[in-house]
């Protein structure tokens, strides 16, 4: 063994050598290519991500300021136009000219000058006429109509049925001046020609009317607004990414984004803020209510567009990386054309280095090197020793003429990954493949030997079609003992492996012939490793076969009492680690009643009974849960996050707190949980608290009152009532029953 200081120094040296070996495995131009690419790639990716985040933050803040400014500007522009129109027609209908028009009990065909003044009055002044597409004056009391197309009796109205319905609606409306949008009404047209003697009640209208004392209407003026002019103003803001909606009396007068308007009205929103709609889109909205016109102006933008725009920075980073990588490939190909002689020289040097190391290992196997020469070789070849070693010797089963040239080929085609895990280098010595394994201690070298043996055996079988016979030495701690370890491997192969059939691979350990305790037996670890792999691969029959073999070996060695329970618990613990490695909690595999499963199984002594119990209570539930998880896939990411929050808080968290942490609306989160789990958030919390309560009752010595306090119940009686309602027992009765 080595002193602690020297051991620590060797660890550091091995780490440096590991990095060096990885770099040395690449040719010079590959090293330069990788280094240059990483030198550019990592900063560019970081820069892209940082730029993306900076853009999102700055742009979001800027957009909120611009939204407020645009909202004021839009409200002011529309308010100036619409309030001017409204005030003009209120003043106009109170003037002498309009009063004269109202008093005419017959159509004033002959009073040309007065009608001309009335015409100018209804058409509006120069400022307003570009926003007015038509007007209608209906003298309801005396039954005649005046509009831009002429004068005619009301009873001769071409679309009278529609106009009668409109007037009935106006009788029910108590407002005398208001805005109205009738986009759903078609104008009175025949093809492209307006219906003669008709009244147009379609489009966006300013309604001015006067009611008579009997509850009817004396007269009504309909001013039809040219919506194209108003929409053109809104479209300018829409091109900048801001949507405009104008509401009057809760009705839509104008909008540039029907989706935003529909969600705004559907949600019953009133004030400004950030809203996430059912469609999944997130909008920043600013609302202005104007008393002069009685209109509501809603201005908003899609907040998710900021993130979409920000992805340009990340994409730009990847584009630059792609261009740089392409240029490096061109440079590398050019360099390769000029560096072929250098590559040949490097290959020659690598081959020479490998041959020197093979010679060194061969000399170790022959026992021709003492400690001084071994230490000198370590310094010369830059090899760092380990405190513990094992040797694996492998021969292929088959006809000798088949194996003549195969050993060299097997070593040549061995993957770089496997070569890195072999100490110094593998060699073909006396028609045996020799592999040295080094590690920091005996346990670690055992584990590394198990893994390496299985991978090499599988590689030879799958790639070359040969079954193998393998011998493994005892653990040794000095490399001058390599010759002795080789003799142990040869002895193990001679005593057992060569007597096996040639169709199946076999393994023999020299430990078996020294009657060492089971604790140091590598063969047991190999079977254990294969059993774990069978369970992880969901091979139930193979797992139960290996389990039966393990129990049978323990019986053959007459392992009983505490020693038997020690090895059995070790085997069961290895099985129980499988779900955790696959990302599955043990509480999802086993019921709360199975917390004492280890104790129960160690109290079963019959071989068949033990195999049956482990198979039914451990192997099958684990395989079933692993299969379900792999079939279900990832599932809902939101559900996973919620379940993690519940587990971390032991169920002491509310729906609103979950929603705040995950940045979702509580209603949306509730819908997702209901869809994914089929139960409410409250039910999920109850399940988690029940699981935590059962665990603490069975595993800990906490009192019922302490468990109630940890689960944050107001008093212990509430906790007892909750537990009994769900389990059927009080907490104390449950603990007593299941701890028997």
Q: Where are the domains of the chain?
A: 65-304, 348-630, 637-738
- Spatial CA neighbour of 590 closest among 621, 613, 630: 621
Contact 396/468 with Cβ under 8 angstroms?
A: yes
**Residue 150: how many CB atoms within 10 A of its CB?**
11
- Spatial CA neighbour of 496 closest among 466, 464, 463, 523: 523
How far apart (Å, rounded) are the C-alpha atoms in residues 219 and 217? 6
H, E, C per residue of 6-55 = HHHHHHHHHHHHHHHHHHHCCCHHHHHHHHHHHHHHHHHHHHHHHHHHHH
How far apart (Å, rounded) are the C-alpha atoms in residues 439 and 425? 15
Query: What pLDDT score was predicted for residue 17?
Result: 46
Burial class (CB in 10 A: 0-12, 13-18, 19+), 697: buried
**Residue 212: how many CB atoms within 10 A of its CB?**
11
How far apart (Å, rounded) are the C-alpha atoms in residues 292 and 685? 52
Per residue in 421-452, pLDDT (tens digit) is 898 889 888 888 999 999 988 888 888 888 88
Contact 141/103 with Cβ under 8 angstroms?
A: no
The token pair at 677 is: 């789990």
Which residues have a Cβ under 8 Å from the Cβ of 361 and sit 6 or more positions away?
Answer: 424, 425, 427, 429, 434, 436, 482
Q: Is the pTM of this model over 0.75?
A: no
- Spatial CA neighbour of 584 closest among 624, 524, 638, 543: 624
How far apart (Å, rounded) are the C-alpha atoms in residues 639 and 373? 64
Contact 472/437 with Cβ under 8 angstroms?
A: no
Place of tokens 């002959």: 110
The token pair at 189 is: 């047209």
How far apart (Å, rounded) are the C-alpha atoms in residues 152 and 333? 90
Per residue in 531-565, pLDDT (tens digit) is 887 888 888 888 888 888 888 877 776 666 666 77
H-assigned helices in 173-277: 227-239, 258-267
**Residue 602: how many CB atoms within 10 A of its CB?**
15
State the number of CA atoms in the 13 A half-sphere of 410 facing the CB: 29
In the chain, count of helices (H) and strands (E)? 30, 18
The token pair at 595 is: 């917390």
Residue 205 belongs to what H/E stretch? strand 203-211
**348-630 and 637-738 share one fold:** no
Query: What pLDDT score was predicted for residue 220?
Result: 93
Query: What pLDDT score was predicted for residue 579?
Result: 81
- Spatial CA neighbour of 244 closest among 286, 276, 207: 286
Looking at 1.10.10.60, 1.20.58.710, 3.40.50.970, 3.40.50.300, the CATH number of the domain 637-738 comes to: 1.10.10.60
Query: What pLDDT score was predicted for residue 543?
Result: 85
CATH-assigned architecture of domain 348-630: 2-Layer Sandwich (3.30)
Under-50 pLDDT residues of the chain:
1-3, 6-7, 10, 13-14, 17-26, 497-499, 515-523, 633-635
């Amino acid at each position: 063994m080595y002193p602690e200081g020297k051991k620590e120094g060797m660890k550091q040296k091995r780490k440096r050598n590991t990095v060096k070996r990885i770099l040395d495995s690449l040719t010079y131009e590959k090293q330069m290519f990788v280094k240059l690419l990483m030198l550019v790639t990592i900063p560019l990716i970081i820069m892209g991500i940082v730029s993306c985040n900076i853009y999102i933050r700055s742009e979001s803040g800027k957009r909120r300021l611009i939204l407020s400014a645009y909202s004021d500007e839009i409200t002011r522009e529309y308010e100036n136009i619409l309030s001017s129109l409204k005030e003009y027609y209120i003043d106009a209908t109170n003037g002498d000219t309009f009063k004269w028009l109202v008093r005419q009990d017959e159509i004033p065909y002959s009073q040309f000058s007065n009608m001309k003044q009335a015409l100018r009055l209804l058409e509006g002044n120069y400022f307003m006429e570009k926003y007015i597409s038509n007007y209608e004056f209906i003298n309801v009391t005396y039954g005649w109509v005046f509009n831009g197309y002429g004068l005619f009796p009301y009873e001769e109205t071409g679309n009278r049925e529609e106009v009668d319905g409109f007037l009935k609606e106006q009788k029910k409306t108590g407002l005398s001046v208001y805005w109205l949008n009738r986009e759903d009404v078609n104008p009175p047209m025949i093809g492209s020609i307006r219906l003669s003697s008709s009244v147009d009640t379609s489009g966006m209208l300013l309604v001015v009317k006067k009611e008579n004392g009997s509850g009817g209407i004396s007269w009504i003026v309909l001013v039809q607004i040219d919506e194209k002019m108003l929409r053109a103003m809104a479209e300018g803001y829409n091109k900048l990414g801001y949507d405009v909606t104008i509401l009057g009396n809760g009705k839509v007068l104008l909008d540039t984004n029907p989706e935003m308007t529909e969600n705004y009205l559907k949600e019953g929103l009133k004030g400004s803020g950030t809203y996430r709609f059912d469609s999944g889109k997130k909008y920043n909205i600013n609302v202005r209510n104007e008393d002069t016109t009685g209109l509501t102006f809603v201005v908003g933008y899609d907040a998710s567009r900021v993130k979409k725009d920000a992805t340009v920075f990340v994409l730009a980073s990847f584009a630059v990386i792609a261009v740089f990588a392409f240029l490096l490939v061109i440079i590398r190909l050019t360099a390769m054309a000029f560096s072929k002689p250098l590559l040949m020289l490097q290959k020659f040097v690598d081959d020479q280095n490998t041959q020197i190391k093979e010679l060194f290992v061969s000399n170790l196997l022959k026992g021709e090197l003492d400690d001084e020469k071994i230490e000198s070789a370590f310094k010369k070849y830059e090899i760092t020793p380990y405190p513990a070693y094992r040797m694996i010797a492998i021969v292929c089963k088959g006809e000798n003429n088949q194996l003549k040239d195969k050993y060299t080929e097997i070593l040549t085609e061995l993957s770089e990954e496997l070569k890195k895990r072999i100490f110094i280098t593998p060699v073909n010595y006396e028609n045996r493949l020799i592999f040295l394994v080094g590690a920091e201690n005996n346990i670690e070298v055992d584990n590394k030997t198990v893994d390496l043996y299985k991978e090499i055996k599988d590689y030879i079988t799958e790639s070359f079609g040969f079954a193998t016979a393998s011998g493994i030495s005892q653990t040794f701690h000095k490399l001058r003992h390599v010759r002795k370890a080789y003799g142990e491997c040869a002895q193990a192969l001679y005593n057992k492996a060569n007597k096996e059939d040639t169709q199946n691979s076999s393994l023999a350990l020299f430990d078996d012939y020294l009657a060492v305790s089971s604790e140091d037996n590598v063969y047991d670890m190999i079977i254990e490793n294969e059993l774990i792999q069978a369970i992880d691969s969901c091979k139930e029959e193979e797992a139960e076969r290996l389990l039966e073999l393990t129990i049978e070996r323990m019986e053959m060695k007459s392992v009983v009492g505490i020693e038997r329970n020690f090895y059995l618990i070790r085997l069961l613990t290895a099985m129980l680690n499988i779900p955790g490695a696959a990302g599955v909690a043990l509480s999802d595999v086993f019921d709360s009643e199975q917390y004492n499963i280890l104790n129960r199984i160690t109290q079963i002594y019959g071989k068949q009974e033990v195999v049956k119990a482990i198979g039914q209570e451990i192997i099958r539930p684990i395989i079933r849960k692993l299969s379900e998880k792999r079939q279900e896939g990832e599932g809902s990411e939101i559900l996973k996050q919620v379940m993690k929050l519940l587990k971390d808080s032991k169920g002491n968290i509310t729906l609103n707190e979950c929603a705040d942490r995950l940045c979702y609306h509580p209603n949306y989160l509730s819908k997702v949980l209901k869809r994914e789990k089929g139960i409410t958030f409250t039910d999920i919390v109850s399940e988690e608290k029940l699981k935590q309560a059962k665990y603490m009752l069975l595993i800990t010595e906490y009192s019922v009152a302490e468990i109630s306090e940890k689960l944050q119940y107001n008093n212990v009686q509430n906790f007892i009532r909750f537990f009994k309602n769900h389990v059927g027992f009080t907490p104390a009765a449950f603990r007593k029953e299941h701890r028997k």
